[in-house]
Amino acid sequence: MLTEIVAHRGYPKKAPENTLASFKKALAFSIDILEIDVHLTKDQQLVIIHDEAVDRTSNGHGFVKDKTLEELLKLDFGSWFSPKYNDEKIMCLSELLVLLKKINFSKKLLIEVKTDHFAYPGIEALLVKTIAQFDTHKYQIIYQSFNIATLLKIAKLDKSANLAALFFYPTWQILCLSKKNLITAIHPDNRWLINRIFWLKPSMIRPWKVNDPQKIRKILKCQLAGVITDEIELALDLRKEIQGG
Ligand code: G3P
Ligand code: CA
């Protein structure tokens, strides 16, 4: 099996992360998984953004949880990256699901549920409900979170959900859940993993965020399940060189 190339926040080297422009850039390559980050607005809308606050990636200030979707849509989510992207808006999860259907997406969508700083009560149920309303049968959805309670809530709501634990350091809880197959993949910080690859089952591991060519090479040589990276083209080239595909 080839190691999956996971496009982290789209293609953030080429366009503002987690925006439509970034996703289009990533989807232009033969990536295996598209990774996004999801938060909840004040009016209970699922939006795609990495940080809890809008300050770093827009011309606005404050937390996503304190703003309505209408307020967020007035912000410019592209100029911080380049003036060329001054029309980029925040994207709702539902808009991305419409796009994936339209382009006949058949790979995997990795949704990070960002409940590690704010709990966003009800976000898990809303996610499962929203996804059920769309035709997603052509591709696989994987939920990931640093918050294991979020993954367990999703598991209760959707017995067939694919769940991945994100972590800086593994806990016994994560290892036990993966042994019981409740968690089907583990997504460790590469700084912890890189000298401990032999500890874990290679087919379950997709480390993040790996942009260094030497580390990507090591991951490909160990035939891990995936590599979560900003360097899509580099990773695809290295995979061709090392794994032949
Ligand atoms: O996919 C894993 C990675 O996205 C986790 O870190 O901070 O980039 O969301 P972060
Ligand atoms: Ca993420």
Q: Report the pLDDT value the prediction gives residue 101, as an integer from 0 to 100.
A: 97
CA of 50 to the centre of ligand 2 (A): 7
Q: Report the pLDDT value the prediction gives residue 169, as an integer from 0 to 100.
A: 87
Q: Report the pLDDT value the prediction gives residue 198, as an integer from 0 to 100.
A: 67
The answer to whether residues 1 and 244 touch, using CB atoms and an 8 Å cutoff, is no
pLDDT in tens, 183-217: 999 999 998 877 776 677 889 999 999 999 999 99
Residue type present at position 58: S
Superfamily assignment of 4-39+46-51+93-243 in CATH?
Phosphatidylinositol (PI) phosphodiesterase (3.20.20.190)
Nearest ligand to residue 12 Cα: 1
pLDDT in tens, 98-155: 999 999 999 999 999 999 999 999 999 999 999 999 999 999 999 999 999 999 999 9
CB atoms under 10 Å from CB of 26, counted, come to 24
Which of 46, 3, 1 lies closest to 217 in space, CA to CA?
Answer: 3
What mean pLDDT is reported for the chain? 96
Q: What residue ranges do the domains of the chain occupy?
A: 4-39+46-51+93-243
Cβ-proximal residues to 27 (8 Å cutoff; 6+ apart), any chain: 7, 34, 103, 105
pLDDT at 84 over 90: yes
Calculate mean pLDDT across residues 27-41. 98
Ligand 1 atom with the smallest distance to the CA of 6 is 1
Q: Report the pLDDT value the prediction gives residue 192, as an integer from 0 to 100.
A: 84
Pocket of ligand 1 (CB under 6 A): 8, 35, 37, 50, 112, 166, 187, 208-209, 228
pLDDT band at 58 (very low <50, low <70, confident <90, very high): very high
CA of 159 to the centre of ligand 2 (A): 23
Q: Report the pLDDT value the prediction gives residue 82, as an integer from 0 to 100.
A: 98
Which of 1, 2, 112, 101 lies closest to 47 in space, CA to CA?
Answer: 112
Which of 7, 146, 172 lies closest to 163 in space, CA to CA?
Answer: 146
Percent share of the chain, pLDDT over 90: 90
Query: Could you tell me the end-to-end alpha-carbon distance of the chain, in angstroms, rounded to an integer?
Result: 10
Calculate mean pLDDT across residues 79-92. 97
Cβ-proximal residues to 238 (8 Å cutoff; 6+ apart), any chain: 213, 216, 217, 220
> Active site includes 39?
no
**How far is it, in rounded angstroms, from Cα 199 to Cα 75?**
45
For ligand 1, atom 5, which residue shows the shortest CA distance?
Answer: 208
Q: Report the pLDDT value the prediction gives residue 200, as an integer from 0 to 100.
A: 75
pLDDT in tens, 144-182: 999 999 999 999 999 999 999 999 988 889 988 988 889
Candidate from 6, 35, 49, 108 with most ligand 1 atoms within 8 A of CB, to mutate: 35
